[in-house]
Chains A and B, each alone.
Chain A
Amino acid sequence: MTEQAKEVRAVTVSQLNRYVAGLFSRNQALQNIMVRGELSNVKRYSSGHWYFNLKDPYAQVSGVMFKSYADRLKFKPQEGQEVLVTAQVSLYERNGSYQLNVRSMEPLGKGSLYLAYEQIKKALAQEGLFDPEHKNKLPTFPKTIGVVTSVSGAVIRDIIHVSKRRFPGAKIILYPAQVQGQGSAETLIRGIRYFNTRSDIDVLIVGRGGGSIEDLWSFNDEKLAREAFNSRIPLISAVGHETDFTILDFVADLRAPTPSAAAELALPDQVALRNGLDSVQKRLARGLENKLSAATYRLDRLASSPYLKSPYVRLEQRSQTLDLLEERLKRSLLTRLERSKNRFSRNAGLLDSLSPLKVLGRGYSMVQEPDSGKTLSKAGALALGQEIDVLMQDGKVTCQVRNLKLEDTIHTTQD
């Protein structure tokens, strides 16, 4: 074969790749194949397309998921995740490598919705949207309740039913919303937003009846969660049954296990309130009765007073008082007289015992100067030959000093 002949039989790279691509596209098995593997090198481009490799321990293949398909993903593909993809196998002619054009992707193990739920929940929890300090307190006596749910569902019926029993005085306003399917999250969001534009709504209930995770899916919507978080009005979530948890439940100010329970949480119990009113009424009556009986008692006491019985009583009383005073005056004078008498005789007795005459009676004598009557008590004051009077119990003796003798040293004066 000549060189030229060889050149004629050769194909270009493009021709080769197109040929192989044709082989791929004519093979039925490669048009719709399910492949399982681990995701690696996951990248999302701004175009909205996802690029990744799918691998097992021994081999790998590259894959792409174009925006139109990727938009339907319920979860965010992550590095290392085990997935099951449905794809068409094709050749990328530009670089001669083949790839998987992925149409759908499911996480293996947990369902994709569950995974998505977990991912949104984790992200919002990290942002702090579920933190207790953001929870609004429910009003004790709501006058108006805004309900965002389906107009035909069981939720609004349950709420009306419970409200009638518990607190019929509250007004209920329903914002009819779609609670499942395409666009349902948006109507729920609009409902919450609408009620927040009104100033007369005291509490919100957002909910729907039970269903599969797909049915409840709009209540896991991230935008709905944010709208509920931003709600100025306290919000109760009432989604599905007791065991169903949605993202809205975590972000709500209160999660009610069922729609009926939501109404019970939102409204006070009129039976308890009636009992409370009964007791208040009793206390009011008892309070007034006590006041009245106290007043009656005081009135009786005043009325029974003799002053009020007859106008003369007062005069009689006065004269009686006068008599009494007179009596007391007399008595006090007598007492005083008596007291003076007693004091006099006591003092007289004292005086008597102190009298020098009494002393003389006991054998003592008193010496006096004859003329002046001055009492002489010292021998040293006397002179020999001096005349002195000596007073005795019954008389007076005039004597002349003949001898002077002082105590200790006895001075004798010579005649």
Chain B
Amino acid sequence: MADDMNKTPDFETALKRLEDLVKELEKPDLPLEKSMELFQEGTKLVALCRGILGQAEQEVKVLLETSDGRMKEEDLEQDD
């Protein structure tokens, strides 16, 4: 699991992990040290999720066909 933490999880994975964390943390017989670990991990994940939600600039691309027939993504001009 420690290996997984190196890679930034996507929103769905983070949310799923958070649910598990909270459930684990609410178990009465969990040792304090482990609780601290879970709390720290959970706090990081909440921040990550908030970061994804807080993305002000939405990425909007439009596909253009290049001369060699491939598709290329370009920013879509937004007029509002």
Contacts and interface: CB of A to CB of B under 8 A. Distances in A.
Contacts of A139: 12
A174 B75 CA distance: 10
B80 A194 contact: no
B46 A172 contact: no
Given A280-B42, A288-B36, A141 B12 contact: yes
Contacts of B35: 287-288, 291
B66 interface: no
B58 A280 contact: no
Contacts of B30: 291
Contacts of B59: 171-172
Interface stretch (A88-96, A156-164, A318-326): A156-164
Contact of A172 (B21, B60, B71): B60
Contacts, number: 103
Nearest to A287: B25
Contact of B18 (A161, A168, A274, A280): A280
Interface string B39-77: 100110010011011011111111100000001010010
A143 B58 contact: no
Contact of B63 (A175, A276, A277): A175
Contacts of B15: 141, 273, 276
A280 B60 contact: no
Contact of A171 (B46, B56, B61, B62): B61
A345 interface: no
B7 to A, nearest CB: 15
A274 B10 contact: no
A174 B25 contact: no
Bin the interface of chain A by size: 35 or more
A141 B50 CA distance: 14
Given A174-B63, A175-B63, A284 B10 contact: no
Interface in B1-39: 10-12, 15, 18-19, 21-22, 25-26, 30, 32, 35-36, 38-39
A141 B32 contact: no
Contacts of B19: 280
A151 interface: yes
A176 B10 contact: no
A283 interface: yes
A183 B71 CA distance: 20
A292 interface: yes
Contact of B60 (A174, A175, A281, A287): A174
A276 B53 CA distance: 12
A173 interface: yes
Nearest to B11: A141
Bin the interface of chain B by size: 35 or more
A333 interface: no
A351 B56 CA distance: 108
Contacts of A175: 63
A270 B33 CA distance: 33
B49 A168 contact: no
Contacts of A156: 76
Interface string A279-307: 01101110110011001000000000000
Contact of B43 (A171, A176, A284): A284
B60 A169 contact: no
A276 B46 CA distance: 10
Contacts of B21: 284
Contact of A176 (B42, B57, B62, B78): B62
Contacts of A273: 15, 49, 53
A243 B45 CA distance: 43
A194 B12 contact: no
B25 A283 contact: yes
Interface of A: 139-141, 143, 151, 156-157, 160-161, 163-164, 167-176, 194, 270, 273-274, 276-277, 280-281, 283-285, 287-288, 291-292, 295
Given A277-B53, A283-B26, 12 more contacts: A151-B62, A169-B58, A171-B60, A172-B61, A173-B61, A176-B62, A273-B49, A280-B19, A283-B25, A287-B22, A291-B30, A291-B35
18 contacts: A140-B12, A161-B80, A169-B11, A170-B58, A171-B59, A172-B60, A173-B61, A174-B62, A176-B63, A274-B50, A280-B19, A281-B42, A283-B26, A284-B39, A285-B39, A287-B25, A288-B25, A288-B39
